Structure 1
């Protein structure tokens, strides 16, 4: 009897040990996927709603491909590194990204899908120039659209910057930078209120001139900074409204803001000044008062919508309003 009882106790004890081992394996299983902060970061995700859909992304993604230069300058300002960028036509103020340490992921309108696939990115950020490639890029990695909505420029800019702060765990830094930009805009807006006169925005492109007004890609000058438009009926389109020197003379702006596309994409020598400052335009108030302002195309044409580019855009307009 004693032997049977002893055997029973030994068997029961062995079963308890096995059960305890089994429970220990289940507890440790999540740790095999990562421990400490690393494991927490891998598990934490955000759902980003954007113009082209809804995308789940990791917080603090490691391998990031960025196609929008405004987003790139914001990420750089926040102290976050990226893996790949389109290295053709990078704005001069972002020339560090031409270095070979960064992967070249194609052109602004022609992404290199093979190279991007090799990177196996944790996040891809695009804007208008890559919108048509969204579906294909989404097959490679989580892709979000972060173009600026020019009809609500500041709200859109702030939303994008705030989301980038959330994605890269830089909320406080993003908020502080936004506050600084808004303060500079408020200061400029007050200056504009005390400045009489109208403004006209034109793009010089291979011998052609296009005008842009409120709600356009360059409409921040009117919509946010407060410069009164010389023409309130300019057609809103990506490529602007085709105009002539006679049109500029007819509208006779007090300030003429010029963006040189050729200088931005480096297609030969810049010819904007020769195109704009002809005998007809020289009769305008803007020319007579030395108020033709040539804006830096790096900020206005290639990027825009970034913490750095918007800050510099504010400075250029402020300096131009003499």
Structure 2
């Protein structure tokens, strides 16, 4: 009887070990699956500095300072994920975000407010780049901007990047395809017209012009407008000029962004079309002084809707 009892105890030990092994194996499998699942919840993207970031896929709470990114997020159907933005400087076409919690000024993020929002992603543009390190102490920070040397390409890249972040690659591709088709048609119209255009910005009566590879260079390199002056030096603020300069270059089309209207202020001196010298240009005589949608061009370049509106503005010049 004792032998039988000892044998039974030994058997129980073996069985117990086997069961523990099975449990351990099951637990290891679950841990592996959990780890694999967690790995799938992150994505790698490249920011506008060329740096690779690993971010949470489909973030739930996002603070957005870049208006182009805010635009694209809305067009991707992810507007409900935005918890904060610089609400005082929203372009009118993004007014649906006006009731969001303010995250500070477009050049002065409010760190205390942003920290209280507990975002899992912050998206910035060049206007906030000096504060990127400080923002990174709160949450992963994605810097996106339009590269003046390849404006169209970087616009597409930014849309695709946000499509990846929000797990909306298919929607992003569809939007990019639509924009590309429209861009190619506009480029053909602009080039075939043979008309030369001049891109300008007016601010309380002062006039600046922009050439290729400038902040508004997409109008030439992306949309096909033939430059009236190819010698304009690239500059973030443009090249300040007189109205005599405009008459000298004599553009067939004069495109105008009214900065004052975009940010608010006295725009009583900004009616470029009424200037006596502008009236003597071909653009003035033929009614081709084109007022571009100010808050879109000045505040929100690079977004899906903004790019569509910008192309519609330029297209109106050739009708």
TM superposition score normalised by structure 1:
0.90
Secondary structure of 1:84's aligned partner: strand
- Structure 1 regions of 5+ residues with no counterpart? none
Secondary structure of 1:242's aligned partner: strand
Q: Distance in 1 between matches of 2:41 and 2:150?
A: 31
Q: Are positions 1:184 and 2:186 aligned together?
A: no
Secondary structure of 1:234's aligned partner: coil
1:301 is matched with which residue?
298
Go from structure 1 to structure 2 and tell me whether the alpha carbon gap of 1:263 and 1:172 turns closer, same or farther (over 3 Å shift).
same
Q: Distance in 2 between matches of 1:136 and 1:182?
A: 37
Match of 1:73 among 71, 74, 79: 71
Go from structure 1 to structure 2 and tell me whether the alpha carbon gap of 1:197 and 1:21 turns closer, same or farther (over 3 Å shift).
closer
Q: Distance in 2 between matches of 1:117 and 1:60?
A: 20
What displacement does 1:47 show?
2.1
Which region of structure 1 is more displaced relative to structure 2, 212-221 or 6-15?
6-15
Q: How does 1:218-233 map to 2 (within 5 A)?
A: 218-233=216-231
2:286 is matched with which residue?
289
Which region of structure 1 is more displaced relative to structure 2, 219-228 or 173-182?
219-228
1:167 is matched with which residue?
165
Go from structure 1 to structure 2 and tell me whether the alpha carbon gap of 1:209 and 1:61 turns closer, same or farther (over 3 Å shift).
same
Q: Distance in 1 between matches of 2:315 and 2:230?
A: 22
1:122 is matched with which residue?
120
1:57 is matched with which residue?
55
What displacement does 1:10 show?
3.5
What displacement does 1:72 show?
1.0
Q: Distance in 1 between matches of 2:131 and 2:22?
A: 53
Asked whether the equivalents of residues 191 and 226 of structure 2 are also in contact (C-alpha less than 8 Å), the reply is: no
Secondary structure of 1:88's aligned partner: helix
Q: Distance in 2 between matches of 1:60 and 1:270?
A: 45
What displacement does 1:79 show?
0.3
- Structure 2 regions of 5+ residues with no counterpart? none
1:94 is matched with which residue?
94
Q: Distance in 1 between matches of 2:61 and 2:308?
A: 27
What displacement does 1:185 show?
1.2
Asked whether the equivalents of residues 255 and 291 of structure 1 are also in contact (C-alpha less than 8 Å), the reply is: yes
What displacement does 1:168 show?
1.0
Q: Distance in 2 between matches of 1:220 and 1:11?
A: 76
Asked whether the equivalents of residues 41 and 59 of structure 1 are also in contact (C-alpha less than 8 Å), the reply is: no
Secondary structure of 2:254's aligned partner: strand
Secondary structure of 1:184's aligned partner: helix
What displacement does 1:139 show?
1.5
Q: Distance in 2 between matches of 1:12 and 1:30?
A: 27
Q: Distance in 1 between matches of 2:92 and 2:289?
A: 23
Asked whether the equivalents of residues 249 and 283 of structure 1 are also in contact (C-alpha less than 8 Å), the reply is: yes
Q: Distance in 2 between matches of 1:146 and 1:307?
A: 14
What displacement does 1:217 show?
1.1
2:262 is matched with which residue?
264
Aligned residues between the structures? 314
Q: Distance in 1 between matches of 2:234 and 2:297?
A: 17
1:45 is matched with which residue?
42
Asked whether the equivalents of residues 71 and 305 of structure 1 are also in contact (C-alpha less than 8 Å), the reply is: yes
Q: Distance in 1 between matches of 2:196 and 2:18?
A: 86
Secondary structure of 1:218's aligned partner: coil
Secondary structure of 1:304's aligned partner: coil
2:252 is matched with which residue?
254
Which region of structure 1 is more displaced relative to structure 2, 246-255 or 43-52?
43-52
Which region of structure 1 is more displaced relative to structure 2, 41-50 or 189-198?
41-50
